[in-house]
């Protein structure tokens, strides 16, 4: 399977290194606006030396396109004339970018869209009760450093360095969370896409004393109560949980698996 990766940050680099060692896949192209980052990744690969490709060429020539860049690029990818073809697959990490592009997502007829569970667990259960949920809450707690640079933080002039212990920074709906914390809250978008529940409540907490990215989900309905909690260690990128990387790699492995576990 020919693979192209859009975005060569930590997640894209780890996926590239996995593919480089796997004989079932061939990494043919990379795309990133940071050419230095891209070249460093190419040099780090042992068995394959993919080349830089423009977006059109990468999508046209790849069987599996991996997006690990940013939510702002999702629209360009979904609109690309070369994407909606038979036997193509698109793996999206920046699921927050889908919230404003659901119409484009719904128009896909041939390309298979893959959305890893990322930094959370329990999506099988959430999908199973879709349509039966009365209340759905996501509480995300992160180290202060993991929230630096978020638009909501900047706009509201929140001085993260002054926070001691836990402090609730945000409470609101999904759209507000995705706009205010685009690099932190892809889990909320993934949760929505699994649940189809429009009333998700999102709470974001900064904690100066924790080293974990913690996501707590509570779903209530006529099925009972589902409570899910994950405590993830950050990757080298403090905004990204290492579990998100492992989830992406497992999703890629599943494309070749003959046994499917879960719904």
Q: What is the pLDDT of residues 73-108, one digit of tens each?
A: 999 999 999 999 999 999 999 999 999 899 999 999
pLDDT band at 263 (very low <50, low <70, confident <90, very high): low
- Residue 21: pLDDT above 70? yes
- Residue 221: pLDDT above 80? yes
Question: Is there a domain that residue 263 lies in?
Answer: no
Is 70 an active-site residue?
no
Question: Is there a domain that residue 146 lies in?
Answer: yes
Question: Is there a domain that residue 97 lies in?
Answer: yes
Number of domains in the chain: 2
- Residue 234: pLDDT above 90? no
pLDDT score for 172:
96
Which residue range is the domain that position 50 belongs to? 2-118+244-254
Q: Which of 215, 219, 241, 244 is catalytic?
A: 215
> Would the pTM count as exceeding 0.85?
yes
Question: Is there a domain that residue 261 lies in?
Answer: no
- Are residues 135 and 101 both part of a single domain? no
Query: Three-state SS across 113-169?
Result: EECCCCCCCCHHHHHHCCCCEEEEEEEEEEEHHHHCCCHHHHHCCCCHHHCCCEEEE
Q: What is the pLDDT of residues 44-71, one digit of tens each?
A: 998 889 999 999 999 999 999 999 998 8
- Residue 240: pLDDT above 90? no
Question: Is there a domain that residue 149 lies in?
Answer: yes
Average pLDDT of the residues of the chain: 93
- Are residues 226 and 249 both part of a single domain? no
């Amino acid at each position: 399977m020919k693979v192209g990766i859009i975005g060569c940050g930590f997640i894209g680099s780890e996926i590239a290194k996995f593919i480089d060692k796997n004989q079932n896949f061939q990494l043919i192209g990379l795309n990133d606006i940071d050419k230095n980052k891209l070249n460093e990744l190419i040099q780090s690969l042992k068995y394959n030396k993919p080349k830089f490709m423009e977006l059109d060429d990468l999508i046209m020539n790849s069987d599996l396109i991996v997006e690990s860049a940013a939510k702002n690029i999702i629209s360009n990818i979904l609109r690309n004339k070369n994407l909606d073809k038979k036997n193509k697959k698109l793996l999206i990490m920046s699921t927050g970018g889908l919230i404003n592009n659901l119409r484009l997502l719904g128009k896909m007829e041939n390309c298979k869209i893959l959305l890893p569970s990322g930094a959370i667990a329990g999506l099988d259960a959430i999908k199973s009760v879709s349509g039966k949920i009365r209340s759905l809450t996501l509480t995300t707690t992160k180290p202060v450093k993991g929230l630096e640079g978020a638009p909501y933080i900047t706009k509201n002039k929140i001085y993260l360095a002054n926070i001691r212990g836990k402090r609730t920074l945000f409470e609101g709906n999904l759209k507000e969370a995705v706009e205010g914390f685009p690099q932190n809250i892809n889990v909320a978008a993934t949760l929505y896409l699994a649940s189809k529940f429009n009333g998700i409540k999102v709470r974001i907490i900064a904690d100066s004393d924790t080293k974990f990215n913690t996501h707590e989900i509570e779903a209530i309905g006529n099925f009972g109560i589902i409570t899910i909690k994950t405590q993830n260690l950050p990757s080298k990128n403090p905004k990204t949980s290492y579990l998100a990387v492992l989830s992406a790699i497992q999703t890629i492995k599943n494309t070749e698996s003959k046994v499917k576990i879960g719904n």
